[in-house]
Every structure is written in C-alpha cells, then in structure tokens.
Structure 1
Amino acid sequence: MPSSVDRLSPTRVKLTVEVSFDDLKPSLDKAYREIAKSVNIPGFRKGKVPPMVIDQRFGRGAIIQEALNDALPKFYGEAVSENNLNPLAQPEVEVTKLEDGDLIEFTAEVDVRPEFDLPEFSTLTATVDPIEVTDEQIDTQLTALRQRFGSKSVVERAAATGDVVTIDLVASKDGESLPDATAEGLEYEIGTSGMLDGLDEAVTGLSAGESADFVSTLVGGAQKGEEADIHVTVTQVQEQELPELDDEFAQTASEFDTLDELRDDVAARLANAGRLDQAARARDAVLENLLEQLEIDLPENVISSEVDARKEQIQSQLDGAGIDLDDYLAETGEAEDAESFWAGVEKRSADAMKAQLVLDKTAEQTGVTVDQNDLTQHIFQRAQQEGTAPQQIIAHMQEHPHHIDEYMLEIRRGKALATIVEAATVTDSNGEQIDLARIQPDGSLGDPAAAEDVVLEGSVVESDDEGTGADDADSTENKA
C-alpha cells in the first residue's frame, strides 16, 4: 500500500495513500454481505442477493463508499506506522482518486508531534526545600490525638479558648435576614478560627443563652465574599477534658510503651510525609528544568481545542457554584483580571501538552513498556488517592473501555518521567543530594529497587479523553 508524506508545517502533515481494489476486497465483500442480509428483493432469498443486483439497486458508488468507510481506519493506521508519524488529533480525510476495479487514493491531513531532540537527562538539576520536622508540628499531631481520646462536659460558665460551644448564627444585610447564612446547633471550638472572622472574639466570655453581634465576611452561599451583620447566640458551653500527655496515654493511644517512643513515631510519620511531598516537588522541578531547555512547536489546532475545553470546564464550575469570575479573582487573587486569568489557562495548557510530548518521546527512546501488573498497581494507587475501592475503578473501566488506554498512557508517561528524574541531580536548598529512588511508597527510606515504581513514577500529566490534552493539577483551575 504505497503512501507518501508532505510536511505542511512543523506540526502538520499530509498523507497520500493509494489503496488497490485487491486490498479493499475484504471490505467490499463485507458491504455486499451486510446489504444482502438487510434487503428483500423478489426472486432472491434473503442474504443471497448477488453483488450485481445490489449494484443495480443501490449503485456501485454507494457500495465502494461503504467499504471504504469500513477499511479507512486500517489503511490510515498502516500509513501512519509506515511513515513513523505521531498523530495528535483526528485526521481530515478526502478521497482524491477513485478508479473502480483499480485503485483508490485518499489524503489525510493531521496534526502530528513535531521533531525535537531530547537533552542528556544527566545534565538536569533541581533544588527543593529540605524536610523539616519541628516540635510544634509534633505537638499539633499529639494534640489532635489527645482530642480523639478526650471527652467533653457541659459547664455553667463563660466560654473560653479551647471550649466547644454550640451556637446559632443569623446573618443579615441592611436589616434583612440572609437565609443562606443562617444556621442552628453548630459546634465550634474557640480558637480554631475555622468558621468566620471575628467569631472567636464574639463568643469568648459568653455563657449559655447569651448573644453578641459582629460584622464579618461571608464564606459561602449566594452572598459569599460580602460583608454582613452576624448575630450569634451561645446555647451550650462544653469544656474539653484531654488526657495527660504521658506514658500512660502513649500506651492507650498507640502500640508504644512510652511518650518518647510515640513522639519519635509521630516525627517519623511527619518526615515520611515530607519526603513524599519533596519527591513530588522534585519531579515537577526536574520536568520544568527539562522543558525550559526545549523549543517545541505546538499544533495550534490541538492547543486551541484543549484551551476551549478547559475554559468551558472552568466556566461551568463557576456557574455551578454561582460565582462570577471577577468576584472569584478578587477573593482569591489568582490573577489581576479575567484577561490575565485566561492567558494563564492558555499557558498551562501549552505547558501540559509540551510535557506530554516530551514524556511520550522519552518513553519511545528508552523503550518504556507497560504490562498488566503496572495497570493493577495503578488502579490500587488511584483508588487510595480517590478514597474508593479498587473494584469501583475496575467496574468503571469495564463500562468505559477507553479508560484502559488512558490509564496505560498515564502509566507510560509516569515511567518515562521516572527515567528522567533518576538521571537528574536533585538537591535540597542546604546542598544535600536527595536519592529519590530510596523513598518507599509510605515515604520511608529503603531499597531503591522497591521504591522507584511509586515515588519516581508519580503522575505529573494525565491524558484527557481524546489522549491529546492534559489534566493540569494547577490550583487555580481546581479552586474554580
């Protein structure tokens, strides 16, 4: 099956493919069989109508078109493989020649991965913050543990920091009550500053049955971000009784015999979490360093489609939350105005596609493979991240088989990134070199061979439904 390629631009080609009628015959025969089974023609049994009669009844051109529609994906795929192309979108196909009984010629214009050379990965560097576990962090964890084993009792006195109060809240603006900002029976721990600005000061010193008024900015509902008058009434005050922080508590709350052992365990867990966070930041930094060294032409059509999809998704999220973009930006400070915000979305879309192209080419050049065991591990990791059961993800994959290809692509890119990061030099800001390959799935240090699957292969970019875009984990779009 002869084929040729004309490069229209660094990111777009035109394939010209010739198909002989011998190659098309299986699809022609199939088209005749399908039509013969579906029509009733006097004098012929159903399914036994000769091709000549079908041609007379429906026209030879219609049969050829049906056969070509059936065979075109196969012919196109073979031509792509023969010419070592990497399509990034669906092709625009046109039949340019049809000589019945001899050959058919068609062209396919398609956006493809541009040519670029990868640098030596050993030249890549990245610097990340060192891991720090402070006494304050350990104390915070231990306080949370004490609260789990503590108790609360109702007291007849004024509320103080650390007490848990039950409150009723009524918000109003210009004298009119705001139903979305009214609630009863809320429990709140004084001093946590986790509800409304000014609430701590308002309820401190109040006893059950007493009220106070203050002004605060609403954090939810239709009036989110607006100032309102708040009337708060304390209906109950509870004193928290926390167990003493001693060896007896350590024995009750853990498998350890002493408080020192418990503190050491908490410190180790915080260090493990720090290593996992450090590894994630190192992966991002190494990839960013690599992308900065490359000038890659990106296909405008594909980027435009990806940007439009992202914009539609973000706008849908804003509309669903009842938030205007300008109000959202004013509250979060993500960007100065809508124009700069959307410009940022476009840049992140381009950066994500650039990363995908680099990882795909790395996977090809380094011979990355993905097997069933990789997919199984990925399913379990994804289930853990999403807080769901692996069986649910498997069931979803069975309902949507295309997700299997997406997961396999995601795994392949993760392995490619692992190859890049493993060759790079990563240090912390103190100048200490970090061996990411030693970090185990739980963040502890161990055998490099047992750790690299999870830590080095962490997903940075994921394929979208078409396999041409990227899911950018940027906080701006997630918050929207």
Structure 2
Amino acid sequence: MKTELLGQEKNIVRVKVEFEAAEFSKGLAEALGEISRSTNIPGFRKGHAPRRVIEMRVGRQALYNEALEKILPAALQQVVEDYDLETISDPSIHIDDIHEGEPVTCELTLEVMPETELPVLEEIEVERLNSQVTDDMVDALILDIRKRHSRLEPVERPAEKEDVVVVNFVTRILDDASSGESEPQKSEIDLSDEVVRSEVRSALIGRSAGDTVETEFDVEPDYRDSTVAGKRVHYTMTLETVNTRILPNLDAAFFKSLFGEDTEIATEESFRRKIGDDLLARMKRENEAHAAGRAVDEVSKRSTVDVPESLVERQIELLKKKDDEEARRRFNMGMKELLNLKEGEDEARYEGIIRSRAVEMVRNMLVLDAIGRKYEVEVSKDDLEAEVDRRAAVYGIERNRLLGLLHKDRKFLAGVVDDLRYSKITDLLMTLVKVRDVDELSVPQAETPSADGER
C-alpha cells in the first residue's frame, strides 16, 4: 500500500491511498468467502457457490465494496499512524473505478483535531475566593441537618413560620377569563423554606386547619411553565393540617445515627467542630473548582482555535439528551414539553442557548487538549486505580465489581480516562497561571447565580 498527503486546509486532511492489485485481490477473496458462507444459494452448499453465481446474487459493485471494507480499516489505521493524525470523525472515501488485476486508488478525507495556539499561561491571573467558615454558617448547616432528620407532628393552633402545612388549592389566571380554575391539587409546604413565595407564606401564617385563604401574585416572564409565565395568578388555598417540626436533640444517640456506632463524636462541641471542618473542606474544593473554571475560560478566550462544526453538533446532541433525561427524571416529561417549545421563536431560542453552551464546551476541551499535549499529561495505571477506589466508595459498590463494569463497557472506561485526564490538565493549569486569593470576586469574574425556578 502506498499513501500520499494531498493537502490540508484547516483541520481537513486529504490522503491518497493506493492498494496493490494483490492486496485488493486478497480482500476480494475474503469477501467472497464470507458471502458464500453466509448466503443461502439454491443448488449449492454454503461456502461452495462459484463467484459468478455470487456476483449474480449480490452484484459486482457490492462485492467490490465488501472487498474494500476488508482492507480499508487497516489502511486507515496506517494513515493515522504515518501522518500522526488525531481524527474526530469517520473519514469520507472517494474510490476511483476498480479494474481487477490493477492497483486500486482511493482518496480519504479526514477531519482532525484543529491546531490550537495557546497564550503564555504564566501571564494569566485568576481570582480564588478565600474559604472562611463562620458560626452562622455552622448554625445554618446544623439546623438543616436536624430538619432532614426531624419528624412532623400535627398541632391544633395557627400556622407559624417554622411549620409545615398541607393545603388543597386551585389556581386561576386573572388576565385570562377563558382559563377558569385549575383542578384541585394538594401540596405540602414548608413555611421556613426560602423558595416558598412570600405571598403564599404570608397568606398561610396565622391560619388554622380548615381555614380558606386567597392570594395572588405576578409570575416571572421566564418561569418554566409557559402557561402562567408573565401572568398574574390567583390562589385559593384551604389548610388541611398544620404540622410542627420536632427536631432531634444534639446528643450521642443522634451523632451515632449520623456517623455510625463507632463515631468519636459524642458532644455538641465536637459535632460543631466536625461540621465546621467538613464545611471548610467543601468550600475549599468549590472555590478551587470555580477558580479553575475561570482559568480555563480565560485561557480559552485568549487562545486561537477554529472550533470544528462536527464537534459542536455532537456536543449539541449530548446536551439535548442530557436535558431531556433530566426533565423526564424530575418532571416526568420531555424537555420540549417542559418548556412548551413551539416551532419558531421559542424553539430557536432554546437551540441558540444549547449551541452557545456547546461551542464554549468544545472550545474549552480543545484548549485543555492542547495544554495536555504540550505538557505531555497522561493517565497512569495508578491514577486509574485510585479513581476506581474513589468511585467505588462514592457509588457504594465493591471495587472489583466496578472494575468488571469498566472492562465490559469500553465507552464507560474511555469516559473515566477522559475525565481523569482533563482533571489532571486542569490541576496542572492551576500551577501555571497566577492565582490571587481574594475575599470577594471582582465584578467581571463574579459567579452567575443559579437559574433554579421557585416553587
């Protein structure tokens, strides 16, 4: 086999491949044997039909195509190795007319990873928030833990701001006379939860079981339910029960229920100390991760790279699939139903958001790959074993079982290795750029608030 590099334009490479007549003949023989053994041809035993009969059955061109499929994979692998190419999609193939007994020529068009021109990493500076834990933070976290392990007890008194109430309610859209009232619904509302609308909380506090109250409010224009988004909604609520929350005592029995019978946590002081230490460790991890994200974004912004459309399209499909799976898990409906997307402006807006996310993610990935290549970052066997141990602990499964799953699912294994490699590259990046610890981020680097909708 002979190869010749015909040219490269951006990340598209064209290579001419010429197979010797003997190479093609060998592939043709393999194809004939395979078709003969797998095809029922009347009058012949499997594997014994002559070529002319097989050609009449499948056609000469189909036979040639099968022959090429036998020899092309090895040729492609050889081209990738010879020209040190990192392909990102299957090649397109153009084949000249085939004449048996003569060399067979084809042209491969391969899409490869684009060149990325990195900035001087040592000149980039990012901010990292200082990690500071206050008594108020510890108090709030302990209260949250106690609430998650509390029990509810019905009470015969008006609702208070820390209570949990069960209400039956109907809604009506005020500026839509044709909508009418919704079907009655039941809901449990924690009046201490910050996501509860203030109008709902105010209407319920001070009311007793059996009382009916009304309230109304304007729904945000970007609310996820487009049937009420941007409209004024009226609620009629009837209290069914008022429940007080019974919090567990901060004693040895409670600490054992949290940490196990062998825990050394026996006093409220030691419990507070552990909660504070755990919170500080979590804050440090989060602040480091946010700073690393800003570093990647800054390097990406200053790098020169042509983002291949094929990678963007692939990432768009992955993001859509993930969004759809999450919508079905949380709301039992597809993303299109959840957002009430219609053909036209709504769908175009969603597509635009997804595309923007995909382009940014692919660009960052290409930049990290370039850093990894420049500094020869590799995932070692020890790295993989440590990650297996970590994931086994997180998933709560036996280590060898997880190893078995990885070896059976090569795609899963490749994903784990990729995650490890990008993590190592990001850790390296944080040692190369300048990191400035601050008590408050400057405005351009401030974190974007979560877009979670209210209840």
Q: What TM-score, normalized to structure 2?
A: 0.76
Give the 5 Å matches for 1:55-454: 62-96=62-96, 98-119=98-119, 121-148=121-148, 150=150, 152-173=152-173, 174=177, 176-179=180-183, 182-184=184-186, 186-216=187-217, 223-225=227-229, 226-242=231-247, 255-303=264-312, 306-307=315-316, 317-324=334-341, 342-370=351-379, 374-375=383-384, 378=387, 401-430=410-439
> Partner amino acid for 2:336?
D
Q: Which residue of 2 aligns with 1:445?
A: none
> Partner amino acid for 1:14?
R
Counterpart contact for 1:217–1:224, Cα < 8 Å:
no
Q: Which residue of 1 aligns with 2:35?
A: 35
> Partner amino acid for 1:231?
T
Q: Which has the higher contact order (CA 8 A, sep 6+)?
A: 2
Counterpart contact for 2:132–2:280, Cα < 8 Å:
yes
**SS of residue in 2 equivalent to 1:159:** coil
Deviation digits for residues 228-282 of structure 1, max 9, x if unmatched?
Answer: 2211122222333446668998788774343332222111111111011112112
- Structure 2 distance, partners of 1:30, 1:478, is 61
What is the CA distance between 1:297 and its match in structure 2? 2.0
**SS of residue in 2 equivalent to 1:191:** coil
Q: Which runs of 5+ in 1 are unaligned?
A: 330-336, 432-473
- Structure 2 distance, partners of 1:98, 1:348, is 46
Counterpart contact for 2:117–2:305, Cα < 8 Å:
no
What is the CA distance between 1:96 and its match in structure 2? 2.5
> Partner amino acid for 2:216?
V
242 and 168 in structure 1: CA distance in 2 versus 1, 3 angstrom threshold: same
What is the CA distance between 1:397 and its match in structure 2? 6.3
Figure out how many residues of one structure are paired with residues of the other and give that number.
425
- Structure 2 distance, partners of 1:135, 1:233, is 39
418 and 26 in structure 1: CA distance in 2 versus 1, 3 angstrom threshold: farther
Q: Which runs of 5+ in 2 are unaligned?
A: 328-333, 441-448
Q: What TM-score, normalized to structure 1?
A: 0.73
Of all paired residues, the percent bearing the same amino acid is: 21
Q: Which residue of 1 aligns with 2:446?
A: none
What is the CA distance between 1:153 and its match in structure 2? 3.9
**SS of residue in 2 equivalent to 1:202:** helix
3 and 260 in structure 1: CA distance in 2 versus 1, 3 angstrom threshold: same
Q: Which residue of 1 aligns with 2:444?
A: none
Q: Which residue of 2 aligns with 1:13?
A: 13
- Structure 2 distance, partners of 1:58, 1:119, is 57
384 and 341 in structure 1: CA distance in 2 versus 1, 3 angstrom threshold: farther
Which deviates more from structure 2 when the two are superposed, residues 239-248 or residues 225-234?
Answer: 239-248
Counterpart contact for 1:250–1:259, Cα < 8 Å:
no
Q: Which residue of 2 aligns with 1:437?
A: none
> Partner amino acid for 1:102?
E
